[in-house]
Amino acid sequence: MVCSLVKKGVLGAALGAGALFLVFGISAPSYVRTAFHKARHSAQNRIPTQFQIDRARDEVANLEPAIIENRETLARAEVDVEHLENEIASTQANLAVEKRELLSLRDSVKNGEYRLAGHVKYSPEEIKAELASKLDRYKAISQVVEEKQATLKARQKSVTAARLQMTNLVTAKRNLLTKLEGIEAKLRMIEATQGKNEFNFDDSALSRAKETISDLEKRLEVKARVAEIEGRFTDGALPALEPGRDVVREIDAEFGTPVKGTEAKTGDKSL
């Protein structure tokens, strides 16, 4: 059953396309496209302007959820950046303390002082091992700080981009609302002007008649031009002279009468 309906639909479409081709020839697709565009344009013109304004206002209002979401995303990103900045600053402060301890312990080893705290004395190997452990820890934490600083830069760029996007979105919404208010004000002014006019004529029929007549005039001009071209390019045929036309006099009027005695100098006068 379904296959039968599909076959009938395909057959009907093929017959319709064939009929259009027989009527309009290779211009059939152009006629179909023109008819479709005209129908769609006509349907859009029938929609009240106020309805279009309300629809546009609804579309602008639909931007609000995106603005709220971007606002929350921006807030979270800014908080993350601030926390990371504080974390890096605290770690750098601890590194500064460890650096001072490293340098102090290094100086003690150079001076032969092998005491870490109080009066307990250690061997040189024990002191150097402690110094190596502190140095490795300092390097590892410094590497972590460098990675966090790279992460901070990336997040700062993201925050800057989010702020710009937020600003553009809010500005675009404000501008669209302003334009809609202007359009609505113009509509009210036009409606008020039309309300003062007692007669409202529908000139769509007149416009269609003018368009049809203009199209017919163009077709007649094309037919006349085709006939002219056919006569102009017929093999062995010269263009026919209009009855009563004095071409010689027209040439004299256009270029002036030749002076006597110059005819021979201009060459053979025969055509």
pLDDT confidence of residue 255: 74
pLDDT at position 235 over 70: no
Whose CA is closest to 60, among 164, 181, 165? 181
Cα–Cα distance for residue pair 154/120, rounded to 1 Å: 48
Whose CA is closest to 207, among 215, 196, 199, 219? 215
Decide if 63 contacts 55 (C-beta within 8 A).
no
Degrees (nearest 5) of the Cα angle 262, 268, 271? 120
Cα–Cα distance for residue pair 228/240, rounded to 1 Å: 11
pLDDT at position 165 over 80: yes
Task: Provide mean pLDDT across the span 192-202.
Answer: 60
Q: Whole-number mean pLDDT of the chain?
A: 75
**pLDDT tens figures, 239-260:** 566 777 777 777 777 777 776 6
Cα–Cα distance for residue pair 217/261, rounded to 1 Å: 51
Cα–Cα distance for residue pair 171/175, rounded to 1 Å: 6
Contacts of 166 (CB under 8 A, 6+ apart): 67, 70, 71, 74
Task: Provide mean pLDDT across the span 194-206.
Answer: 59
Whose CA is closest to 152, among 73, 74, 86, 90? 86
List own/partner pairs for 75-78 with CB under 8 A and 24 or more apart. Answer: 77/155, 77/158, 77/159, 77/162, 78/159
Task: Provide mean pLDDT across the span 19-45.
Answer: 55
pLDDT at position 43 over 60: no
Q: What are phi and psi of 62, to 5 degrees?
A: -70, -10
